[in-house]
């Protein structure tokens, strides 16, 4: 069976939960079975021999909510395949290496556990590494390929992070966490919020997520301006935004929402100088990656009143350390990297991760990532 045949056969598999069979939503993104970029180089990978097949061990990492087993039917793997789910997170490389040394395959949830060259070299048995999503900056894919470890990904959903961005914006502008807490404590109307209508939304990055955030801003009747390194005026106009310089975006916006991929040129793109350009009444929203913003500079800017506050879903270190200043910083709404965390998204992640493992066991891996 070719990789294309295998994918065509398995793409409509059922996701089973609590004993009930439910098809993945019709809107679930499907990889075309003939995509050569993902399949070509690994066509003809030999299946594991019978002894290996019946001894294959699969680790599912960082299942914080204990949902991996009900989001996909792992019992459909070949008889004898052992699946071990870990709900706790390990940050120490030595501890991760010790935990995974006896596994043939690992399913990693996003970037929760980094797989550096140093770690991969300590996992001689590892032959398959699955990441949820088709991009994972915390995996050294080149090192994996050198060690003949197949790295596979999954599809995902484009809208949950954009929705969470607006949850953070509304929570800040209307002081929802403060009012919720006050009401539960017996107090009534302790703050005066701000409306969005007529305000200026600055969107940094107009890709799949940023463009959704911009369009929702238009629905709130906000003025939408945008900037990124490669953004054109024509692209901005398509989304209903106006292209401006980074400095103008920062100085004009009432809320700045970041939607960039972390890279060498975006790391600490927003530091003390950039934050100083913002209005003292403006808010910063980051649902992309923590290191895009200089975290220490952001804490200082909020404490000093340089900006009004921030809504954050991502951090330099995750999970956020217990003694981190953001935990007690006023005028912030912080969430634990929830942007992609929805049941709909998890069904795709775990469902296609299961397909990745099955295809690899059959010697025909799918959705293969390149360095």
Q: Among all residues, which ones are annotated catalytic?
A: 289, 318, 337
Angle (nearest 5°) at CA 175 between 314 and 290: 10
Residues in Cβ contact with 149 at an 8 Å cutoff, skipping those fewer than 6 apart? 120, 126, 127, 128, 129
Other beta carbons within 10 angstroms of residue 33's beta carbon come to 18
Q: Are 214 and 224 in contact (CB under 8 A)?
A: yes
Helix axes 160-173, 208-219, angle to 10 degrees: 40
Distance (Å, rounded) from C-alpha 255 to C-alpha 249? 10
Return the closest-CA partner of residue 202 out of 259, 152, 153: 259
Place of tokens 């009930």: 20
User: Maximum distance among all alpha carbons in the chain?
Assistant: 68
Lookup: tokens for 35: 């995509």
Q: Are 287 and 258 in contact (CB under 8 A)?
A: yes
Helix axes 160-173, 176-184, angle to 10 degrees: 60
């Amino acid at each position: 069976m070719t990789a294309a045949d295998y994918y065509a056969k398995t793409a409509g598999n059922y996701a089973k939960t609590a004993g009930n069979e439910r098809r993945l939503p019709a809107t679930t993104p499907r990889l075309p079975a003939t995509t050569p970029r993902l399949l070509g180089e690994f066509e003809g990978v030999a299946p594991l021999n019978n002894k290996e097949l019946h001894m294959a061990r699969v680790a599912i990492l960082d299942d914080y909510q204990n949902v991996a087993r009900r989001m996909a039917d792992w019992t459909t793997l070949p008889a004898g395949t052992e699946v071990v789910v870990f709900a706790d997170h390990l940050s120490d490389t030595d501890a991760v290496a010790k935990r995974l040394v006896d596994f043939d395959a690992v399913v990693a949830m996003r970037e929760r556990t980094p797989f550096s060259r140093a770690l991969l070299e300590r996992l001689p048995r590892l032959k398959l590494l699955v990441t949820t999503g088709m991009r994972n900056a915390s995996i050294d894919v080149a090192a994996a390929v050198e060690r003949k470890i197949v790295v596979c990904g999954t599809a995902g959903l484009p809208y949950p992070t954009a929705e969470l961005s607006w949850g953070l914006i509304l929570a800040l502008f209307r002081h929802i966490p403060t009012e919720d807490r006050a009401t539960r404590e017996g107090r009534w109307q302790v703050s005066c919020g701000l409306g969005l209508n007529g305000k200026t939304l600055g969107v940094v990055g107009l890709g799949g997520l940023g463009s959704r955030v911009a369009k929702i801003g238009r629905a709130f009747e906000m003025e939408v301006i945008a900037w990124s390194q490669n953004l054109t005026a024509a692209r901005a106009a398509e989304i209903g935004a106006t292209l401006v310089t980074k400095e103008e975006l920062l100085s004009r916006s009432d809320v700045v929402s970041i939607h960039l991929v972390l890279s060498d040129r975006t790391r600490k793109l927003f530091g003390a100088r950039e934050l100083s350009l913002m209005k003292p009444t403006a808010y910063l929203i980051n649902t992309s990656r923590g290191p895009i913003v200089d975290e220490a500079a952001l804490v200082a800017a909020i404490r000093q009143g340089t900006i009004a506050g921030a809504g954050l879903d991502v951090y330099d270190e995750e999970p956020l350390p217990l003694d981190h200043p953001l935990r007690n910083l006023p005028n912030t709404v912080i969430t634990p990297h929830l942007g992609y965390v929805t049941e709909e998204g998890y069904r795709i992640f775990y469902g296609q991760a299961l397909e990745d493992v099955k295809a690899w066991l059959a010697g025909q891996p799918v959705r293969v990532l390149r360095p």
